[in-house]
Amino acid sequence: MGDAGTQNAGDISFERIFPIVRIFDEAKAREFYVDFLGFEVDWEHRFGDNFPLYMQVSRAGMGLHLSGHHGDATPGSNIFATMRGVHAYQQELAAKDYRFLKPGVEELPWGDVMEVTDPFGNRIRFCEQKSEE
């Protein structure tokens, strides 16, 4: 790898991306992301006793940062996540019979998409992309 002037596009790669999602209620965030969507809490952070929560959750290679801090993220944001197994994931969620959301899978020209909306208005679109034939 040379200096900045000699790098090419092949020298650039991303590891993992962690979208930040604004939350307002810790119990509702845990109920939705952990209990319903099946994410695991990787770590939690607070600057002190009376400060908002900032935590990382993940599942099967997807990670999110959930933040109670004003200014970290905009409520009502969208995340588009490509994945494999969207129909199986939808069946897993349906089996939980979550009273606030019953997502289905929509077949679109670019893939099969399941959209979920968290209690704070943030949306995640899980998409199993169609293979090129």
**pTM above threshold 0.95:** no
Cβ atoms 70, 24 nearer than 8 A:
no
- Dihedral angle over CA of 28, 34, 86, 99, nearest 10: -40
Dump pLDDT digits (tens) for 54-98. 999 999 999 999 999 999 999 999 999 999 999 999 999 999 999
pLDDT at 9: 77
59, 84, 91, 127 from 112: Cα distances, Å: 19, 10, 14, 6
- Separation of alpha carbons 89 and 31, rounded Å: 17
Domains annotated for the chain, with CATH where assigned, are 16-129 (3.10.180.10)
